[in-house]
Amino acid sequence: MKRLALLIAVVAFASMPCRAASDEKAPALSPVLVELFTSEGCSSCPPADEFVQRLDEDQPVPGAQLIVLSEHVDYFNHEGWRDPYSSSLFTERQYAYVHALRLNDAYTPQILVDGADELWDKTPQQMDSLLRQAAATPKVPVLIRSVTIDRQIPVLRAQIEVDGTLAKHNADIYAAVALDHAESQVLRGENKGQHLTHVAVVEVLKTVGKLKKGTTVDKDITIKLTPELASKHLRLVVFVQESGPGRVLGAATQKDID
C-alpha cells in the first residue's frame, strides 16, 4: 500500500498544470526542507526516490522552494546489498527524529517535512496540503552568499548569513554537502537487477554554528571533502533547526557548485 501511495503521489504531482510566465516580479519563495530516509536495500524505496526527484525538479507547490535531502540509512546493509551512499550518521539522525517526534518506529522510506511532519502514507491531496502549510509558515532568512570548492586541498568554502532577529528559540546551523545526482546498478538484495537513481544524496552533514534567538549570524564556513567527493557535481544546503532534532526554522540551497 505504501508503494502504491507514493506512485499515485508521483503521478498526481507530475500531472499538475504548468503556470504561465508573468512579467511581474515573482515573490520570494518560502523554503521547505524535505528529508527522505531511504536505502538501496529496501524494495519500497525506489518510488520514494523518484517522488523526491520530481519534487526537486518540478517544484510543484506554489510559493515554496522544496529543498530535498536524501539520507541513506545503513540498517539494510546486511540484507545482501551494501548501499554505497549509506551512513550510520543518517540512521542515528532518523532515530533521533523518532524519539523527538514520538513516532512508532524508523522505517524506509520515511519523509519528513521541516523536521516536524511525516509526508508518508498520506493521499496526494494531504501531501500537497502539508507542503503548502509548511511553505506558509514564517521562516528565518538564510542566505548563502558564495560557495567555492578548492579541489587541491580539498575543501568547500561558503559565506552564510542567518537572520534570527525574529527567532523565538535558539537553534543549530547545519550544512549538508550532497551529490546533485547519484545512481547504482544493484546486484543483490531486494532491488537486485534495478538501476536506481537519487537526488541530493547527502555525503557530509555537520553543525557549523549556533543561532541565539534575536541575533544574526554572519560567518565563513569550511567543510573538508574527500578528493573523490570534490570531483563530483555537488550542492550545498544550509538549514537552521531547533535542537532535538526539532522544527526547521529556515533553509537555503546552492546548486551547480563549481
Q: Residue ranges of the domains in the chain?
A: 2-13+30-254
Burial of 79 (0-12, 13-18, 19+ CB in 10 A): middle
What average pLDDT does the structure give for the chain? 91
Most trustworthy range by pLDDT among 76-80, 83-87, 101-105:
83-87
pLDDT above 90 (res 99): yes
At 26, is the pLDDT very low, low, confident or very high (cuts 50, 70, 90)? low
Residue owning grid cell 523518484: 50
Compute the average pLDDT of residues 112-121. 92
At 9, is the pLDDT very low, low, confident or very high (cuts 50, 70, 90)? low
At 27, is the pLDDT very low, low, confident or very high (cuts 50, 70, 90)? low
Q: What is the DSSP letter of 86?
A: B
Compute the average pLDDT of residues 49-78. 97
- What predicted TM-score, i.e. pTM, was given to this entire model? 0.91
Write out pLDDT tens, residues 117-140.
999 778 999 999 999 999 999 999
Q: What distances in angstroms separate CA 12 from CA 118, 121, 222, one per listed residue?
A: 18, 15, 40
Write out pLDDT tens, residues 41-50.
999 999 999 9
Q: Which residue has the higher pLDDT, 230 or 12?
A: 230
Q: Which CATH architecture describes the domain 2-13+30-254?
A: Sandwich (2.60)
Compute the average pLDDT of residues 173-180. 98
Rounded CA gap, 210 and 17, in Å? 41
Rounded CA gap, 114 and 41, in Å? 26
Compute the average pLDDT of residues 166-185. 95
Q: 180 near 252, Cβ under 8 Å?
A: no
